[in-house]
Structure 1
C-alpha cells in the first residue's frame, strides 16, 4: 500500500511490490490532499475516536469495577444485559439512533452526535470486570480499612493492576471509530466535520477520477488513515511485552 501510494504510474505486476526509483513520486499525497484536506479529516477523526476512547475507558472502568467488586442487588442482571447488548448488531440500531440523535436531540452536523452512540461500550465493561475479578479482594479491604473511598481504591489500587485491560480496551475501541464511516456520514454531510474515513469514501465514489493517478491517490489516503493505528499499536506493544515478562517472574 505504501509503495503503491508513491508510484507515478500504477504497477500491478509482481515487481510492483518493490520500490522503483524511476517510478516514485509524492504527488499522490498532494493530489488527494487538495481534494479532501487530509489534515482536517485527521483532526475530525482524532476528535471522534479520542472522545469515544475516553468515554469507553471511563464508563467501562466504573461499570466494570461496580460489577466485579461492589455488592448490590441486581448486579448479575446488569452483567447479563451487558452481555446481551453485544449480540445486537449496531446496524439494527442505526435508524432509531439516527432519529433520536439527529431529529429528537437536534445533534445533526455535530461531533457530539457522532460520538454519543459509541460513548459506552459493553465489551469494555466485560473486559474490565473480568480483570477486576482477578485482583485479590484483600487488597481492596486493606485500602478501605485505611480509610480509602471507592474512587480512591479504584484509582490507586485497581487501575494500576489492570494495565493490560486498559491497553486492550484502548486499542480495540480506537480502531472501530477511527475506521467508521457509515454513522458519521449519516450524521453530517459537512466536509469540515467528516472524519477521514468518510472523506476517503466520498473521494472513492465521486472525485477519484479527477486525479492523474486515482489508484495512487486512493492508496495515499489509505496510508494516512492507517498510519495512526499502526503507530498506536507499536507504542502500546511494549506494555503487552512487559506484562508477559512480568507474569513469569516470581516474588
Structure 2
C-alpha cells in the first residue's frame, strides 16, 4: 500500500512537470500523448489505492488511506482541468493564427494551398482548367477568396486535431498495455514465490516425517533392549537371592 502511494506521488510530480513544459511552449504530439497516458495511469493508480484502502483491516490505516485517496482525486481533477484548459487555449490560438494570417497561407513554399487559391478567372465567374482537374473542393458556384481560404484552413486544422487525438489514444493504449504486462509480471512472480515456498515446506515436512520415523525405530529398539535387560535382572535376583 505504501509503495502504491509512493507511485501515485511520483505520477503527480511527473504530470506537474509535463504540464509546466506544455505551458512553456512545448506543443509536441509526444508530450500531449505522454500527459494523456499519465493521466489515465494516475486514474488507475487512484482506483487501485482506493480499493486497497477499503480492504484495510486496521481502522486508523483505513482512514489515512481514504484521506490520501481524496487528496489524489483532487490533484487528478486539478491536473486534468489544467491540461484541458491548456489544450483549449492552444487550439484557439492555432485557429486564430490560421484564420488571421492569410498571407502565410499564400507563401510560395506551399504548393498545395497555392493550388486551391482562386484566380482572377474564378473571381470573375470563370473556372480555370487546373481547378477542374485538381481541386476536390470545387463547387458549382465559386466561393470568394477569403471564404475558400478559411474553409481549407479549417479543414487542415480539423485534420491535425484528429491526428493528434488518434496519436494520444494510441499512446494511452500502449501505456495501458505496458502497465498490464507489468501487473501480470508481478502476479507471476508472486505465484512463483508461493510455489517455491510450498515446495520448501513440503520438503521440510518430508524431512521431519523421516526423522520421526527413525526416532520411533530407535525408541522401539531401546524399549525392547531395556525390557530384556530388566527381565534378566529379575531372573538373577530370583535365582541367587530367592
TM-score for both structures, normalised by structure 1: 0.27
Larger radius of gyration: 2
Highest RCO, 1 vs 2 (Cα 8 Å, sep ≥ 6): 1
Richer in helix (by share): 2
TM-score for both structures, normalised by structure 2: 0.27
